[in-house]
Structure 1
């Protein structure tokens, strides 16, 4: 059983159902996902698997960075897409073990910079559900477990705008022949637009997903640059 926002990409919903999953939809702007998942798990006698704030979950997500380091060796920078912080914290653990000098940069949508606010204030900041095309990063707050790792092992958190995400989507499509969802473009958008001095450096970029409806993809990348 998978709980998904009612405005999740239809491609993601259809794929999940196609693999045999039961999808339950909710309104992310009006309903509390955590309360709903706990209720469903209790009613059905199921085990709750959170999307990011669990040691096993973030460790699994961090294997993306491990595989990158195993393949290319040490890096100067690693840019990682950020929502609740699972992928970022897991990737930071991999970086500290395999490329200790690497600067790990988390990237959020500008409209949903709860992680950046939390990182710079030293305490978890909760915000209203942000409105951004990066639907996978419409989180209200980072997790307690992920934040502790981020505070210790991440160097900075940057933000990018929705138009910058579209630029990155277009780059992936035109130059690399890849369909990447807006959230998956956060890291590349920061490389291109965040003003971080990456020229001449060894830079790693985590591309976190391609769950975007083709019609929506066409509308975004086909819009004037």
Structure 2
């Protein structure tokens, strides 16, 4: 199939710009391009100390997982206060993933400071209500159909979960739903502490809630 080329420029901050050249078998529409921008902005907002080199690893993995018809990415990270840019051309490759009872987890990036993951929740499945005592989490809901504590969650909603804060998700829709998740430090399996409850949890709310406008239901 013929490949199309599309370009996207993302201004993350006054001193940081990212340029993407995407080669794909199907063109992305304006909404899909806005979603890319929102996801990259979320990553930068939550881990602003991220380096250009780390961005060059994270963004291709994220986009290859989200867009199966994406063939390659030419990505340039421009720290505008420096004299040089960082550039790499990435071909589609296999992204490491884990199988969980609720679905799968794509491992986009891990180091000792943080881990970045896509939590893919199958239709009718749930991430059980849980908390962490060693990790804090930042999560961006990418798809419709998810609920938290009995309430619908709009795509584009982001949550900051401090240590000890109870949270979990139910996918009551007929389609899979994905959450972009940042763990600080990287995910610690033994720190996934299940909290059993039968009634809605009172006074449970994330420390911070934001909405990323580019992510919406199409």
Q: Shorter-chain TM-score: what band?
A: under 0.3
Bigger fraction of residues in strand: 2
Question: Per residue, is there more helix in 1 or in 2?
Answer: 1
After TM superposition, the score normalised by the length of structure 2 is: 0.27
TM-score, normalising length: structure 1: 0.26
